A and B are shown apart, each in its own frame.
Chain A
Amino acid sequence: MELEDPDWVHKLCAGDEAAFAELVRRYHPQMVAVARGIVGDSIADEVVQEAWISIHRNLSGFQQRSSLKTWVYTIVCNAAKTRLCKEHKHRGQRDNSLEPAGMPAEFFDENGAWREPPSDWHLDTPEQLLEESQLQECIDKTLSLLPEQQRAVFTLREVEQLDLSSVRNKLELSDSNVRVLLHRARLKLMQVINHYQETGTC
């Protein structure tokens, strides 16, 4: 769902409360996930609330030089980084290893060739997968268990479709970190989907 329709954005910036509620409905859970990746779980909710106050206060001056989505995430990430600085806190749960992320080693022989090749999937389009409500529950659960930074990178790149350099800047991570974290998150989801395809359960 994109909330970038110019008429809708115009209404939002003019102070339409229903449009603002829609903005909150659309972005709040994703903003919390991103804030957790910067400040950790304990103060992420507070940081996001501060960001909402700032967004509400500054909407009338939103110049539309960037997309609304980019603007919203810039505000929440800046709020999180400012808070981190103020409290001299360390960043949230780190997942900084640059070890290459791949399928588990037991899937391969000593030459790195498949010992257990990927099985064929009978649900092989995003639309077919989206029809599976139980799979959606499995995905929700898996996402809730991802390390905070992995989830933040996944949210900005996969869900919000920001480009990698923007994700890196917003989360203050290195390029290689972002790529490794993203790949790890994708592989985890891939394993969940694979298990679901094979067994019909999480």
Chain B
Amino acid sequence: MLSCQHITQKASDYIEGKLNFWQRLKFRAHLRACIHCDNFLRQLRLVIGYSSRAGHQCASEAEVQQVLHRIRQAESTSS
């Protein structure tokens, strides 16, 4: 049987579908028996759902203008 520590190491592989059939079976058997690991996995899924949105950053107006300015410079040099 997998230990709780193994579960925390393999949790992303489980979520990403990267475990083989037997590994998945053992992983699920552990989750059914262990409320803490079930909780851990639920929290990891929540982290993924949250950070996909919280991790996105937009450029500031100054950064946008700097990029556009350098494009104009490069294009005027090459033409």
Contacts and interface: CB of A to CB of B under 8 A. Distances in A.
B57 A30 contact: yes
Contacts of B75: 53, 56-57
B71 A113 contact: no
A158 B71 CA distance: 29
Interface stretch (A7-15, A36-44, A80-88, A95-103): A95-103
A5 interface: no
B36 A117 contact: yes
B54 to A, nearest CB: 5
Contacts, number: 132
Contacts of B58: 25-26, 29
Contact of A182 (B12, B54, B64, B67): B12
A173 interface: no
A57 B75 CA distance: 9
Given A28-B59, A190-B43, A158 B18 contact: no
A118 B57 contact: no
A126 B47 CA distance: 8
Interface of B: 3-6, 8-13, 16, 18, 36-37, 39-40, 43-44, 46-59, 63-64, 67-68, 70-71, 74-75
Given A29-B59, A179-B12, A186-B51, 9 more contacts: A30-B57, A49-B67, A53-B74, A53-B75, A102-B9, A117-B39, A135-B54, A190-B44, A190-B47
Interface in A60-114: 100-103, 105, 107-108, 111-114
Contact of A155 (B46, B47, B55, B67): B55
